[in-house]
Structure 1
Amino acid sequence: MTQSESNNFWALLEVLAKRRNMIFAVVILATLGAVVTAMVLPKWYRANALLLPPKNVAPAISGSAEISEAISITSGLNLPVLTTPTDVYARMLKSRTVTSKLIDSYNLKDRYKTTNFEETFDALMYYTSIRVTEEGLLSVSVEDKDPQMAADLTNGFIDELDKVNKQIISERIAETRDFVESRLNQVKQELDSSRFALEEFQVKFKTVDFDEQTRLAVEQAVQLKIKLAELDLKYKMNQITLGKENAELVKIEQERDIIKRQLSELETINPDSSFFSLPVAEIPKLKGQYEILYSRVKVAEALYKVLLQQNEQAKMKEFEKMPTISVLDHAQVPEIKSRPKRTLIVLGTFSVSFIFALFLALLLEYFVKLKEKNIDDYNRAMFFLSRYFGWLPGVKKSEQK
């Protein structure tokens, strides 16, 4: 420390010693005032509640994605990239729909001494804290002079959010159920029409198992053609050996005619043909028609089954009474006040008043030096000080000359 710095330090201590009465008075008066103020300030209590983030709803059964989306409040919303479903819940808590219910239920206009909804809403939001934590949880807290009211209002926010959620979800499910029922009736008509067309085809062509009947028809045709070839060979051989007028040849000819008629019945549509046989010549064409009709029935049956499941699920969800939000911590009646922070008020006032007193002491010392250098400026300055700080020790009241 240089000689100059040492002199300044001791000069500062000299000033503090000379003005110690004023410094003590300022600090003591300010601190006592802070103590009195802190004691008379009303106590406020803050109740807190914590909500889990909205769960991602997965389909409960196959083909039930529409119902699952309907029971998610944020489904179908085009949310910004950084916006989460929890952020949506936080904004819903500040909505007019939620807050107006609380204002009416707890008569907050009289409690906050306001005259209209906007003023009451602003007052409620002033005492309410709604934020998303770093972990993604939703924190709700309300401050009030009555600890019971603080807890009731906090839980009221949660209850109203759940009611709004249920109303929105119920409307979505009702709309979904109406659509599913309408589509279910259409598909039922399509299914009945497809089944009737398939039944007509089966009755007309006597088909039960198309593939099996096709195999049987082809096997029958092959066996008949083999037998016909054998008879043709036998007929020609006997014709050479026995002559054309032989009775055996007449019998063979009759057998050949019978087999040809059977082949004709197999290869063409004949209402008198075997029930398990199909017209072989028409099999490619009939197979295509059968597959189209059969596939229409199967598709309609599968779609009808899915829609029937969705319809039943929508009915169950519509009458379900389970809560739509997950509460981790309900608000409890707080036992410890949230404010005023009396210790902080007193310590803060003490620190500020001490700094102010030091500044004022240095200022007064400056005026003393000013008196020695410029008496006119000194008189003006002292007149100002006496008017505003004449009550302090060390500051004398004076009149401007």
Structure 2
Amino acid sequence: MPMRPPESSNDSINILESLGVIAKYKKMILLVTCAAGLITVAYSLSLDKSYSSTAKILPHQQSQNLLSAITGQMGGGGVGLAGGLLGAASTSDLFAEMLKSDDIKDAIVTRFKLMQVYEKELRQDAYSQLMKNVSIQTGKEGIISITVEDRLPQRAADMANALVDEVDKLSAKVNMAQAGQSREFLENRLTRARSDLADAEEKLKAFQARNKALNVPEQARAAIEGVAQLMAQLASQEVQLASLQRQFTDWNPEVKNAKAAIANLKGQIARMEGQGGGSIPSVGSVPPLGQEYVRLMREFKTQENIVSLLVNQYELAKLSEANNVSTLQVVQAARVPERKSKPKRAQMVLVVACASFLLSVIAAFVRERFAVMPAEEREKWRRVWHDLKPFSAAQKAE
């Protein structure tokens, strides 16, 4: 069996050949690498310095919790009205989107005269340039980082802090508007509920006036209270669903949850009333006159509970509308940066120098390959290169 030469010997030869090529063209490699590095240094020195300043805020839940409390007594599915008003996104995500609104951009552009600073004739162009210089990031903990980059360190810090002020103002304005809408909606519903309660009370009083002596079992009275409470929760849940449907489609998760809660309450009421035409099982032995009394009493208790719930919700809505305190907590105010953030000259020079070194080494191997190439093959490559020149020239002309 013939002996095979060891592969390590071939590897050593290839490495030596490669090192020989690099050594042969070392002047070219060093010249290209140094020239590219010097050009990069000169270019980086011509760039304007930029400074970055970061402010960090944490939107707190006071306003959202207050709106949630408005419907916290509704029972059922427990879907908050604040969720319907503010949507499915987190509070931090909402603040991050508000920071990108035209209202805030307009305030910052006006306050810092950015049309002159950015040398823009159109306001929209100034908006675009501003957003290029602003970075907004939301952390997992809900903290929002607002970073502003500018040529002047003081202005970078001032703009970051101004963004915090403006988003706080806008958030307070939005919360007050939402609370106002909720208050108006509940006010109208409360007026209607009070009218229904007055009607139910009049009917019950009229029935009692006609029928002086009426004996209703204690078990039936307890059933009346239970059904009345459930029906009050059902009415409140329907108020919530109506609020959600004013802003969202039926495919919205919170709308679906509210509908599921309503269906659940209706099922509980149906089970308590039984299957016999709305009569309550606990009053099966009550005579027809007593059945009528049970029905009227249940309606009265239901409307009474509805009014009680709506009054609490209405008062909370008024409190939320009047609440104009800060909607966020400043975790870190922006400070004047001491060091520039751009250009990163050392990084630029290192990247360009490494890339130039690699390209020059590749060029050295290509030149060496052509140098040892047979004359006939070299001539073929020259013809190919010659044929490509007119093609390139034609493309440039087009």
Same fold (TM over 0.5): yes
1:64 and 1:310 in contact (8 A); partners too: no
Alpha-carbon distance change, 94 to 76 in structure 1, aligned in 2, over 3 angstroms: closer
Contact 1:15 1:362 in 2 (8 A): no
Mapped partners of 2:71, 2:369: distance in 1: 86
Do the aligned residues in 1 keep the contact of 2:134 with 2:146 (CA within 8 Å)? yes
Q: Which moved more, 1:308-317 or 1:26-35?
A: 26-35
Asked if structure 2 preserves the Cα contact closer than 8 Å seen for 1:173 and 1:318, the reply is yes
Of 24-33 and 331-340, deviating more is 24-33
Give the Å deviation of 1:46: 1.6
RMSD of aligned alpha carbons: 4.1
Q: Does the 8 Å CA contact 1:67/1:173 hold for their aligned counterparts? A: no
Residue 332 (structure 1) aligned with residue 335 (structure 2): yes
Say which SS state the counterpart of residue 143 (structure 1) adopts: strand
Does the aligned pair in 1 maintain the 2:21–2:368 contact within 8 Å? no
| Structure 1 residue 304: Cα displacement | 1.1
- 1:133-282 pair list within 5 angstroms: 133=139, 137-206=143-212, 210-211=215-216
2:48: which partner in 1?
A: 42
Quick check: 2:21–2:364 contact (8 Å CA) kept in 1? no
Q: Please report how far the alpha carbon of residue 112 of structure 1 lies from its aligned counterpart in structure 2 after TM superposition.
A: 1.1
* SS of 1:131 mapped into structure 2: strand
Does the 8 Å CA contact 2:51/2:149 hold for their aligned counterparts? yes
Amino acid at match of 1:63: Q
Matches of residues 1-400 of structure 1 in structure 2 within 5 Å? 1-2=9-10, 5=14, 8-9=17-18, 11-16=20-25, 20=27, 23-52=29-58, 57=65, 58-59=68-69, 62-63=72-73, 69-72=80-83, 75=85, 77=87, 86-133=92-139, 137-206=143-212, 210-211=215-216, 284-325=287-328, 327-358=330-361
Closer/same/farther in 2, CA of residues 285 and 358 from structure 1, 3 Å limit: closer
Secondary structure, counterpart of 2:324 in structure 1: coil
- TM-fit CA distance, 1:110: 1.3
- Pair 1:146–1:101, CA change in 2 (3 A): same
Cα deviation digits, residues 111-136 of structure 1 (max 9, x gap)? 11111133222212222222344666
Q: Which is higher, the Rg of structure 1 or of structure 2?
A: 1
Q: Structure 1: which 5+ residue stretches go unaligned? A: 213-282, 381-401
Give the conservation status (yes or no) of the 8 Å contact 1:59–1:68: no
Aligned partners of 1:67 and 1:176 also within 8 Å: no
Q: Partner of 2:110: helix, strand, or coil?
A: helix
TM-score, normalised to structure 2's length?
0.60
Secondary structure in 2 matching 1:297: helix
Partner of 2:282 in structure 1? none
What CA distance in whole angstroms lies between the structure 1 residues aligned with 2:121 and 2:169? 27
Find the aligned partners of 2:105 and 2:375 in 1 and give their Cα distance. 67
SS in structure 1 opposite 2:24? helix
Matched with 2:6 is none
**Gaps (5+ residues) in structure 2?**
1-8, 218-285, 383-398
Amino acid at match of 2:176: S
Looking at structure 2, the residues matched to 164 and 366 of structure 1 have their Cα atoms a distance apart, in angstroms, of 68
Q: SS state of the match for residue 130, structure 2?
A: helix
1: CA distance between counterparts of 2:172 and 2:323?
A: 10
> Residues of 2 paired with 1:106 and 1:62: CA distance?
44
Q: Distance in 1 between matches of 2:18 and 2:346?
A: 33
Instruction: Give the counterpart letter for 2:129 in structure 1.
Output: A
Is the partner of 1:59 in helix, strand or coil?
helix
Aligned partners of 2:71 and 2:19: how far apart in 1?
Answer: 87
Partners of 2:81 and 2:13 in 1: CA distance: 81
Q: 1:351 to 1:206 in 2, by over 3 A?
A: same
Amino acid at match of 2:73: G
Closer/same/farther in 2, CA of residues 177 and 363 from structure 1, 3 Å limit = same
Counterpart contact for 1:43–1:339, Cα < 8 Å = yes
Give aligned-pair identity as a percent: 27
Q: Which amino acid aligns with 1:15?
A: K
Question: Secondary structure of the equivalent of 1:46?
Answer: strand
Q: What amino acid is aligned across from residue 90 of structure 1 in structure 2?
A: A
Match of 2:267 in 1: none
Q: How many residues align?
A: 299
